[in-house]
């Protein structure tokens, strides 16, 4: 299929070309704080099948701590290197591994943790989970500064569940309705423009 072929081609090339950058980031993470280079977390994938997403670790490694699953503003758990990785979205690069494995696509609805997927309305849930989740999508662009938005909310968890999540779901459903190779390429270009703006 054209979409899967493009995913494999670009993810493979990306991992190959970005290998030196991966090594530099890994070294910076290890020098900055103790713990693993990668952060892995269970997310809900296509057809509701769970998988473990890869990111560069941006927070202090505390296996016993159970902090909130959303990041709010200047979260005290974020490391110095982690703050830079988050600001530039470089922490998302290891998801190219998930694209190669077939758990994700380059473009598709962002995968959520099971806790929030349980809140999806049934009709939207089936639609949004009918495609592979992606590294980027229209909601990722619209809510690029999500943690800053949540920092200004009186109740960040409630703000996310009642305002942000429904909007993300609607954008995801709209994407599924008109998904094509052309729309994927357009989302990729918009993502690059947002990153370099």
Q: For residue range 143-181, list pLDDT tens digits in order.
A: 988 888 888 888 889 999 999 999 999 999 999 999 999
The number of distinct structural domains making up the chain is 1
Q: For residue range 79-130, list pLDDT tens digits in order.
A: 999 999 998 999 999 999 999 999 999 999 999 999 999 999 998 999 999 9
- Closest alpha carbon to 6 in 93, 105, 115, 110: 105
pLDDT at position 138 over 70: yes
Domain limits for position 170: 2-196
């Amino acid at each position: 299929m054209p979409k899967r072929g493009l995913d494999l081609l670009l993810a493979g090339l990306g991992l190959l070309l970005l290998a030196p950058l991966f090594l530099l980031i890994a070294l910076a993470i290890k020098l900055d704080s103790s713990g693993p280079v990668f952060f892995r977390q269970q997310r809900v994938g296509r057809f509701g099948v769970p998988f473990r997403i890869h990111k560069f670790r941006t927070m202090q490694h505390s296996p016993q701590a159970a902090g909130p699953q959303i990041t709010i503003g200047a979260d005290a758990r974020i490391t110095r290197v982690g703050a830079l990785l988050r600001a530039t979205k470089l922490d998302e690069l290891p998801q190219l591994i998930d694209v190669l494995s077939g758990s994700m696509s380059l473009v598709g609805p962002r995968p959520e943790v099971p806790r929030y997927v349980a809140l999806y309305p049934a009709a939207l849930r089936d639609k949004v989970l009918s495609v592979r989740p992606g590294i980027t999508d229209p909601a990722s662009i619209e809510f690029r500064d999500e943690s800053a938005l949540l920092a200004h909310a009186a109740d960040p968890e409630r703000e996310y569940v009642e305002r942000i999540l429904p909007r993300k779901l609607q954008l995801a459903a709209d994407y599924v309705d008109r998904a094509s190779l052309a729309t994927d390429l357009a989302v990729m270009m918009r993502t690059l423009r947002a990153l370099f703006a």
